[in-house]
Amino acid sequence: MDANSSSAILFPGQGVGDVSSRELVGETRPDLFDLAVELVGEDPFERMAEGTAYAQPAVYCASIAGYDRLGRPDPQYFAGHSLGEVGALAAAGAIDDADGLRIVVARGRVMDDAARAGEPGGMLAVGSDRDRAAELAAEHDLTLANENSPQQFVLSGPLARIEEAEAAAKGSGVRAKKLAVAGAFHTEAMEPGVGAFRAELEEIEFADPSAPVVCSTTADFFGDDVRDALAASLVSPIRWTAVLGRLRELGVTRYLDVGPGKVLAGLVRRTLDEVEIETFANRESALA
Question: Residue 164: how many CB atoms within 10 A of its CB?
Answer: 17
Residues 179 and 192: their CA atoms lie apart, in Å, by 22
Integer CA distances (angstroms), 142 to 82, 139, 153, 173, 184, in order: 19, 8, 12, 19, 9
Residues 136 and 155: their CA atoms lie apart, in Å, by 8
- Write down the catalytic residue from 21, 128, 186, 236: 186
Asked whether the beta carbons of 259 and 226 are under 8 A apart, the reply is no
Q: Which amino acid is it at 151?
A: Q
CA geometry: angle 36, 59, 95, nearest 5 deg: 65
Asked whether the beta carbons of 5 and 254 are under 8 A apart, the reply is yes
Q: Across the strands, what pairs with 7?
A: 254
Q: Which amino acid is it at 62?
A: A
Asked whether the beta carbons of 6 and 250 are under 8 A apart, the reply is yes
- Write down the catalytic residue from 82, 128, 149, 233: 82
Asked whether the beta carbons of 238 and 186 are under 8 A apart, the reply is yes
In sign, the C-alpha dihedral spanning 190, 194, 196, 200 is positive
Let me know if 172 is a catalytic residue.
no
Let me know if 82 is a catalytic residue.
yes
Residues 149 and 147: their CA atoms lie apart, in Å, by 6
Strand pairing of 152-158 and 143-149? antiparallel
Residues 249 and 214: their CA atoms lie apart, in Å, by 13
Active site residues: 82, 186
